[in-house]
Amino acid sequence: MKSKKKDITVTLISTGVALIFLLPIVWMIFTSFKELGESLSTSSLIPKSWTIENYTSIFGADADAPILTWLMNTAIVTTAGTALVVFVDVLAAYTLARLNLPGKKIFLSIVVGALTIPGIVTLFPAFFLFREVGYLDTYAPLILPYSAGTMGVFLIYNFLRDFPRDLEEAAIIDGANLWHILRHVIMPTIKPVVATLTVITFLAIYNDFLWPSLVTSSDDMKTATVGLANLIQGSNFVNPGKMMASTVVATVPALIIFIFANKYFVRSVTNTGIK
């Protein structure tokens, strides 16, 4: 009996906290349907008179911010960047964990050592180098640099190291080649950690802000985060309804992916944190 009472109390408190916690998102969505005059003066969360004008104005022919282009850029950059990271990291981690790579120990300590150096150190030199070779404001700097991260290699390496080699050895005895082993033995084995790496990388690239803001300048090349930042700093900011409509459009794709892949995100925290 006592534990039932406790369950109800905890659930009630949690519901209250959750409502406060969700307020910014709920406010964002409701405000995007408010008219300008109302949104500037109201203390009510729910619109008195609903309007979709904020949305039609950002998608219409006379829209001043190409938000769909920005979202498309984010989609391209995020997909290509994640695919690249997963591809190079899986091959590198497998090589380090299982194959006979000359200088393996050195490469492994480089991978671990690089994790300790903060990103701010590489940011401006990398920007300068991309400018020197004339690749600013293209997809190249928006996609390629993420592949240098060593966290993914480290994750998969650790996973493989703790995993018995029996299946691989059996496959070798059966005369399987390297491609066959990778595809039919290793990939199924490392699937959970690859899923982890995929969701973290995806979200990290989707939400990255400082780096893409340095390397893009034309409106056509901006990602959603950079475009949105320009809106916050620009003259459109004076209309909260329109600002929130843009924020909803830029945020909802990530929220949907997050809710559907929630299991993998939770697992990713477990995998990247300490044991």
Nearest to 34 by CA among 52, 58, 57, 59: 52
* Closer CB to other proteins, 3 or 162, in the complex: 3
Q: Which of 50, 187, 209, 220 binds other proteins (CB under 8 A)?
A: 209
Q: Which of residues 16-75 bind other proteins (CB under 8 A)?
A: 17-18, 21-22, 24-25, 27-28, 31, 39-43
* Closer CB to other proteins, 61 or 233, in the complex: 233
Which amino acid is residue 76, in one-letter code? I
* Closer CB to other proteins, 61 or 111, in the complex: 111
The answer to whether 124 contacts other proteins (rule: CB under 8 A) is yes
Q: Is 89 exposed, middle or buried (0-12, 13-18, 19+ CB in 10 A)?
A: buried
Residue found under tokens 């990530």: 254
Label residue 175 left, alpha or beta by phi (over 0 means left) and psi (-120 to 50 means alpha): left
* Closer CB to other proteins, 50 or 124, in the complex: 124
Query: By the 8 A CB rule, do 53 and 40 touch?
Result: no
The answer to whether 273 contacts other proteins (rule: CB under 8 A) is yes
Which residues have a Cβ under 8 Å from the Cβ of 65 and sit 6 or more positions away?
58, 219, 227, 230, 231, 236, 246
Minimum distance, C-beta of residue 224 to other proteins, in the bound complex (Å):
7
**How many of the chain's residues bind other proteins (CB under 8 A)?**
92
Residue found under tokens 């843009």: 246
The answer to whether 245 contacts other proteins (rule: CB under 8 A) is no
Joined tokens for residue 54:
């904020």
Stretch that binds other proteins, among 47-55, 60-68, 118-126, 189-197 (CB under 8 A): 118-126
Distance between CA atoms of 20 and 24, rounded to whole angstroms? 8
Q: Which of 142, 197, 246, 264 binds other proteins (CB under 8 A)?
A: 246
Distance between CA atoms of 62 and 155, rounded to whole angstroms? 48
Q: In terms of residues, how long is the chain?
A: 275
Q: Which of 65, 86, 126, 142 binds other proteins (CB under 8 A)?
A: 126
Stretch that binds other proteins, among 47-55, 59-67, 80-88, 185-193 (CB under 8 A): 80-88
Minimum distance, C-beta of residue 159 to other proteins, in the bound complex (Å):
16
Q: Which of 49, 100, 218, 235 binds other proteins (CB under 8 A)?
A: 100
* Closer CB to other proteins, 48 or 61, in the complex: 48
| Number of other residues whose CB lies within 10 A of the CB of residue 91 | 14
Q: Which of residues 178-207 bind other proteins (CB under 8 A)?
A: 178, 203, 206-207
The answer to whether 145 contacts other proteins (rule: CB under 8 A) is yes
